[in-house]
């Protein structure tokens, strides 16, 4: 006895050829659309993760002392994107430092030039961090 095949998308019984996977063109298109959307969703997370890791690597490379000032163009030319960060810390003056894991930056204007103040996460910052 021959087993009945079911549509890959809607799980309805298929009639016709024995190697048929979908009951009609709509189900075939919907199945492949859904599959592609899942891949795009996973790719988005990979892109965000890659940018965060790139930002951290750049900040670490340019911040050897643990505290330094760098021109904005220097970071951006290496692939740094300030829109990607893991968390922030606000000091008592109200300055907001954005962090990529353990390395942070603060946007500054110094002598009419856009710069970033680079810092490394310190233990005292943790008492203000709400997780």
**Single pTM value for the model:** 0.64
- Mean pLDDT over each residue of the chain, to the nearest integer: 87
In this prediction, residue 67 has a pLDDT band, given cuts at 50, 70 and 90, of: confident
pLDDT score at 98: 95
Residue 119: CB atoms within 10 A of its CB come to 20
pLDDT score at 129: 54
Is the CB of residue 120 less than 8 Å from the CB of residue 102? yes
In angstroms, the CA 71 to CA 84 distance is: 18
Domain boundaries, the chain: 25-128
Q: What are phi and psi of 95, to 5 degrees?
A: -70, 135
SS3 string, 38-49, reads: HHHHHHHHHHHH
pLDDT score at 123: 82
The answer to whether residue 125 scores a pLDDT higher than 60 is yes
Which region among 3-7, 36-40, 51-55, 105-109 has the lowest average model confidence (pLDDT)?
36-40
Structure confidence by residue, pLDDT tens digits, 21-60:
999 999 999 998 888 877 777 778 888 999 999 999 999 9
């Amino acid at each position: 006895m021959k087993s009945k095949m079911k549509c890959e998308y809607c799980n309805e019984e298929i009639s016709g050829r024995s190697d048929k996977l979908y009951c009609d063109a709509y189900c075939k298109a919907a199945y492949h659309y859904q599959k592609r959307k899942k891949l795009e969703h996973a790719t988005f997370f990979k892109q965000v993760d890659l940018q965060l890791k790139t930002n951290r690597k750049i900040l670490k490379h340019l911040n050897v002392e643990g505290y330094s000032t760098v021109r904005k163009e220097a970071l951006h030319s290496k692939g740094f994107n300030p829109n990607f960060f893991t968390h922030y810390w606000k000091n008592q003056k109200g300055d907001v430092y954005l962090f990529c894991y353990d390395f942070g930056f603060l946007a500054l204007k110094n002598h009419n030039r856009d710069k970033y103040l680079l810092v490394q996460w310190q233990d005292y910052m943790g008492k203000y961090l709400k997780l």
